[in-house]
Amino acid sequence: MKRQFSRGSLLRGAVPIAILILLIATVALAESRCPTTTKVISSPNPSVPYESVTVTATVTCDYHAVPDGGTVNFYTKYGWIGSGTTVNGEVSVTTVFDEKGSYVIRADYSGVQIWRPSKGHTRQYVREE
**Domain CATH for 115:** 2.60.40.10
The structural domain count of the chain equals 1
pTM, two decimals, is 0.75
Q: Domain range spanning residue 77?
A: 33-126
Residue 47 inside a domain? The answer is yes
Dump pLDDT digits (tens) for 69-111.
999 999 999 999 999 999 999 999 999 999 999 999 999 999 9
In a domain, 91, yes or no: yes
Q: Has residue 72 been placed in a domain?
A: yes
What pLDDT, on a 0 to 100 scale, did the predictor assign at position 11? 54
Q: Say how far apart CA 34 and CA 103 lie, in whole Å.
A: 30
Strand order of the β-sheet with 101-109 is: 79-85, 71-76, 101-109, 118-126
pLDDT tens digits, residue range 20-41? 676 665 554 555 689 999 999 9
